[in-house]
Amino acid sequence: MSIKPKPHIALFIPCYVDQFYPNVAISTLAVLEKLGCQVSYPMNQTCCGQPMANAGFERDTVGTTKHFIETFAVYDYVVAPSGSCVVHVKEHSPKVEGLEKEQAELHDKIFEFTEFITDIIKIERIDGSFPHRIGYHSSCHGQRGLRLSSSSELNEKPFSKAKKLLENLEGLEWVELTRTDECCGFGGTFAVSEEALSVQMGKDRLDDHHAHQVEILTGGDMSCIMHLQGIAQRQNQNLKFKHLAEILNEAMS
Partner 1 sequence: MSHPQEAAEFLKDPAKSKWHDDTLWFIRDKRDKMSHSVPEWEELRELASSIKDNVLGNLADYLEEFERNATKNGIKVHWAANAQEHNEIVLSILKEKECKAIVKSKSILTEECHLNPFLEKNEIEVVDTDLGERIVQFLGQPPSHIVLPAIHLKKGEISELFHEKLQTEKGNEDPYYLTQAARHHLREKFLAAKVAITGVNFGVAETGEFVVCTNEGNADMGVHLADTHIACMGIEKIIPKRKHLGIFLRLLARSATGQNITNYNSHFRSPEAGKEIHIILVDNGRTAQLGREDFRNSLKCIRCGACMNTCPIYRRSGGFSYKSTVPGPIGSILSPGLDLQKHSSLPFASTLCGSCTDVCPVKINIHEQLYRWRQEITKAQGTSVKELSMMLGNGIFKSPLAYNYSGKMMRLALKNLPKSMIYNPLNVWGKQRDLPTVPKESFKEWYQKNRS
Site for partner 1 in 196-225 (CB under 8 A): 196-202, 204
Please tell me the distance from the alpha carbon of residue 148 to that of residue 168, in angstroms, as a whole number: 18
193 binds partner 1 (CB under 8 A): yes
Q: Which helix (H) or strand (E) holds 248?
A: helix 244-252
Separation between Cα atoms, residue 127 and residue 209, nearest integer Å: 25
Q: Which residue's CB is nearer to partner 1, number 1 or number 154?
A: 154
Asked if 28 and 244 count as a contact pair (C-beta separation under 8 A), the reply is no
Tell me which residues in 112-171 interact with partner 1 (CB under 8 A).
140-141, 143-145, 151-156
Calpha distance 226→232 (Å, rounded): 10
Instruction: Check binding of 96 to partner 1 (CB under 8 A).
Output: no
Among residues 93, 41, 30, 84, which one has the least CA distance to residue 66?
A: 93
- Residue 73 engages partner 1 in binding (rule: CB under 8 A): no
Question: In this chain, which of 35, 173, 230, 237 binds partner 1, going by CB under 8 A?
Answer: 230
Verify binding: residue 9, partner 1, rule CB under 8 A.
no
Instruction: Please state the closest distance from residue 162 (CB atom) to partner 1, in A.
Output: 17
Give 95's DSSP letter: P
Q: Are 112 and 141 contacting, i.e. CB atoms less than 8 angstroms apart?
A: no
- Which residue stretch of 54-62, 114-122, 124-132, 169-177 sits at the interface with partner 1 (rule: CB under 8 A)? 54-62
Which residue's CB is nearer to partner 1, number 3 or number 192?
Answer: 192
150 exposure class (CB count in 10 Å sphere: 0-12, 13-18, 19+): middle
As measured in angstroms, the least distance from the Cβ of 226 to partner 1 is 6
Q: Applying CB under 8 A, does 61 fall inside the site for partner 1?
A: yes
Distance separating alpha carbons of residues 27 and 17, to the nearest angstrom:
12
Interface segment toward partner 1; rule CB under 8 A; list 49-57, 100-108, 167-175, 212-220: 49-57
**Pairwise CA distance, residues 143 & 151, whole Å:** 7
**14-43 binders of partner 1 (CB under 8 A):** 15, 17-23, 25-26, 41, 43
Question: What single letter denotes the amino acid at residue 58?
Answer: E
Q: What is the nearest approach in angstroms of partner 1 to the Cβ of residue 33? A: 11
